[in-house]
Amino acid sequence: MVTPKQFNSGMAIYLDGVLHQVLDYEHSRRGRGGAFVRTRLRNLETGKVQRMTFGPEDDFKQAILEKRPAQFLYSSDQFYVFMDMETYDQIELSPDTLADKIKFLEEKMELQLQYCDEKPLGISLPAKVELTVAETTPGVRGNTVQGGTKKARTSSGLELEVPLFINQGERIIVDTKNSKYVGKSGD
């Protein structure tokens, strides 16, 4: 059993018998009252995100998440298909389950599949990923009015600011936490 005071981002708990993942948490204390924890939880069965507040007396059963290496294969209209690198099983996950992680997925990308009780729940991305620039305007020499950056869209659909020297078709490194350009691949 865990209390809200022990919450960590990414932790999985059972809330009313349903598996939830802690996305964010904040410990707060009222003036003369007791402490409480504000959380943002994702229902791992439906993908719905909700905000909840818990007191120090609340306790929850912690779920054990297992991570296994996987490879993203392809996406269809309804599912994103991954291959478990240990069992070679193909796992289908819905766009609702993956949420904003979809914008970092490119075919043949290696990542981690999250399981609980042998049921696939989602993916865990590395801190940085390599993506291909699909669209960007050519950089004009001397055009630094905009701070030396321009807009680009990757093959996965992510839109971000990149330096002027980045061209269409090049591979770039992107931070998955804040969706920002980190560097050019191969540098």
Write down all domains in the chain, each with its CATH number in brackets: 4-63 (2.30.30.30), 66-124 (2.40.50.140), 128-184 (2.40.50.140)
Where residue 128 falls among pLDDT bands split at 50, 70, 90? very high
> Looking at the predicted structure, is the pLDDT value of residue 146 above 60?
no
Residue 138 pLDDT: 80
Section 141-167 average pLDDT: 82
Q: What does the alpha-carbon distance between residue 89 and residue 87 come to, in Å, rounded to a whole number?
A: 5
Average pLDDT score over the chain: 86
Q: What is the pLDDT of residue 181?
A: 93
pLDDT value at residue 140: 65
The residues, ordered by sequence, that sit 6+ positions from 74 with a Cβ below 8 Å of its Cβ are: 80, 81, 107
Residues 167-187: what's their mean pLDDT?
89
- Lowest-pLDDT range, 81-85, 94-98, 163-167? 94-98
> Tell me, what's the pLDDT at 29?
79
> Can you give the pLDDT at residue 68?
93
Give the C-alpha separation, 63 to 57, whole Å. 19
Percent of the chain with pLDDT over 70: 95
| Predicted pLDDT of residue 147 | 66
What pLDDT was estimated at residue 34?
77
Q: What is the pLDDT of residues 100-118, one digit of tens each?
A: 888 999 999 999 998 888 8
- pLDDT by residue (tens digit) across 27-84? 887 777 778 889 999 887 777 889 999 888 888 999 888 899 999 999 988 899 999 9
Residues in CB range of 82: below 8 A, 6 or more apart:
70, 71, 72, 73, 90, 91, 92, 93, 111, 113, 120, 123
